[in-house]
Chain A
Amino acid sequence: MIILAVQSVTSTRTRSQRLSKHWVTYRAGYIFVLPSLVLYAIFMIYPFLQSIYLSFTDWNGATAVKNWVGLDNYRQLFDDSLLWKSLWHNLIWIAIGTIAPLAIGFLLAVLLSSRPKGFTVFRTVYFLPQVLSTVIIGLVWGWIYNPIFGLLNTFLDSIGLDSWSRGWLGDTTWALYAVLAAAIWATIGFVFVIFLAGLQNVSRDLLEAATLDGANGWRRFWDVTVPQMANVITVVAALLLIGGFSVFDIIFVMTGGGPANSTEVIATYAYTEAFTQNHVGYASTLTLVMTVITLVASVIFIRLRERGGEE
């Protein structure tokens, strides 16, 4: 018994000494990290915990008392047709908004990876939308789609396709795709630059070996370049996927979720519920649903990619 007690005291002392030594060694590091940690806790962790709490209340954003309603808000989700409509729009956004920038960005990066003439100009032009704010992009594309003076309708009219002209952002069938096109245009630059950087690391030796083995351009691209870019593709796709679930700003600027909810996504719906309808409790529930879906989808996607990579 005495031996055990002595061992325990020695162990505690050793741990304490180790911690003390650790603190002395890394003190400066902790101090430097502290401001970010404090800000993160205040602006991310605390609001997140608050959202969880609010999702169990019927708070309207103004009253001092927040009535506890248990799981009522979560039950309401199942009967809320607008939520399912919004979720469907998110899925369309994710499908097209992930695949299109990936495909176009990759293609542009491959075309420019051999640094052809005019490389700098093309790279700048493709990347340009990234330096514009979403509000500016929304406004400019709003003008392009404008039914009175918009460039798109003018162009369609000029080539005899006037039957295709329409008020793009006011058409319940086309509005979502019109906003999506603007978002894809804005995203391609980012995808392009990441892929261009990734392509610099593709092994030249392997490409030359494939050429010597008689592989044509397509086989070299598909069997050599793409596998070596797998990790970059995964990261970019995951970012686009997360962006697709949480998309808000460009839709808010261009249509506000309308007309007749035809461009409503979960984030714009949650915003309307919180700030127009004063249903802050339910809006918190919607944002949590969005967080959970994003998290689950991202984890599944990354795991699948990792498994694919191992095989």
Chain B
Amino acid sequence: MAKIVVDVMLKPEILDPQGQAISAALPRLGFSFAKSVRQGKRFEIEIEGEPTAAQLDEVAKASETLLANPVIENFSVRVEN
């Protein structure tokens, strides 16, 4: 069984008020390392066996159709062992 991971992030030019709120909360807790924070989504998709190139293409298509909104978000697909 393999795990395909799709990461979805707001495009850099789209305002991320949730990330900003997290960024503002960190120093209040004594964490001073963050210059900025952006929040995204991670999808873990399990499949039987090792993924084929065709399956990965399908996942990319599904990501573009449903998992991400290409108007405001970028996504990346990778296989995790």
A binds B: no
